[in-house]
Amino acid sequence: MQASEASDVSTNVGHFRLVLYLNFASATIIVYDYLLTVGLEVHHLWPKQGWNLIRIMFFVNRYLPFIDITLGLWAEFVPSMTTQGCTLVDRLAGWSFCFSIALSEVILTMRTWSLWKTKRWSGTALVVFYLSCWTPIVVVFGTFLMNANVRSFQLQQYGGCIILPENINLYLCWILVLVYDTGIMILMVLAVTKPYAQMLLKSGGSSALVRTLYRDGITYYFALFVLSVMNIATIVVLPGDLVNLFTVLQRAIHSTLTSRVILHLREQAEHNILFDPLAVK
C-alpha cells in the first residue's frame, strides 16, 4: 500500500469513528428519553382498548428507532460484513430513517391541523404542502441511496461498513425538511395567537393545554431547524464520508420529541376533556 493510500484509509477510519461516536450518542438519547417517559406511555396508552391511526403511528414512531438505529450500529461493528451485506443494511436503515422522519412530520402536522381545524381549507393545504416537500425528498434520497458506494473494511481492530457517496445532493433533502418545518412552525404560531387562544379557552380548553401545545411545538421545531442546518453544512462543507454525521442524531430527536408531544398532550387532556386534539384512544 502506498503512503497516500494508507493516509486516505487512515482518514476514512478516523471519520468512521467520529460518525460511530455520534451514532452511539444518538442511541443513548433514544434509550434515556424512553426511560424518562415510559411511565407516561404506560399510563396513557397501554390500558387503552382498540386502535386508531394516531395510536398506531405513535407506537411505530416510538419503537422503530430501536430497530433501525440498532441495525445501523450493528453494521458498523461487524468486521466480517461483506460489501453486499453493507449495501443491504445501508438501504434498509436509510429507508427506515426516511420513513420514520416522514411519519414524525405527519404526526406533528396533524397536531398543527388540530389548531386550524375550524378552517375547512386547512387540511387540504397541509396535505398539499406535505406532498410538495416530501415527494422530492423521497426521490432525492432514493437516488442518494442507489448511488452510494458502500464498502466493508477491516483495519487492525476496526471494521464494519463505510459509506463513500457518489452523489451528495442529499443536502436538498435537508433543505426541504427545513422549509417544511419552518412552514409548519409558522402555521402553529399563527394558530396560537391571541384570537385562537381565546377561542380555545372560551370553549373550555385549559391554559395549561394551550401552553403545552405552544411549548412543545416551539421546542420541536427549533431543535429540528438547528439540526437541519447542521446537516446541510456538513454535506456541503465536510468530506463525503461524513455525509451522515448528524443523520442519526436528527432521527433520534424527531422520534423523541414527537413522542413527547403526544404524551404531553394526553397528560394535559386527561384533565381537560372538552378540548383534546390528537386524542389517542
DSSP three-state, residue 113: helix
Q: Residue 127 is placed in which grid cell?
A: 396535505
Spell out where 105-247 has E strands: 149-155, 158-164
42-51, 190-199, 247-256: which has the highest mean pLDDT? 247-256
Q: How far apart are CA 55 and CA 240, in angstroms?
A: 39
Look at strands 158-164 and 149-155 and give their pairing.
Answer: antiparallel
Q: How high is the pLDDT of residue 207?
A: 55
Average pLDDT on 266-275 reads: 61
- The CA–CA distances, whole Å, from 243 to 16, 34, 240, 265 equal 11, 27, 5, 35
Does the pLDDT at position 118 exceed 70? Answer: no
From the number of C-beta atoms within 10 Å of its C-beta (0-12, 13-18, 19+), residue 207 rates as exposed
Taken in order of first residue, the domains within the chain and their CATH numbers are 3-269 (1.20.1070)
Confidence class for position 279, pLDDT limits 50, 70, 90: very low
Residue type, 1: M
Q: Considering the entire predicted model, what is its pTM?
A: 0.79
Read off the pLDDT of residues 71-99 as tens digits, 9 standing for 90 and up. 878 777 766 677 788 888 888 888 988 89
Residues 164 and 148 sit within 8 Å (Cβ to Cβ):
yes
Read off the pLDDT of residues 131-176 as tens digits, 9 standing for 90 and up. 999 999 999 998 888 887 777 766 555 566 777 766 668 889 999 9
Q: How high is the pLDDT of residue 31?
A: 93
Average pLDDT on 189-216 reads: 57
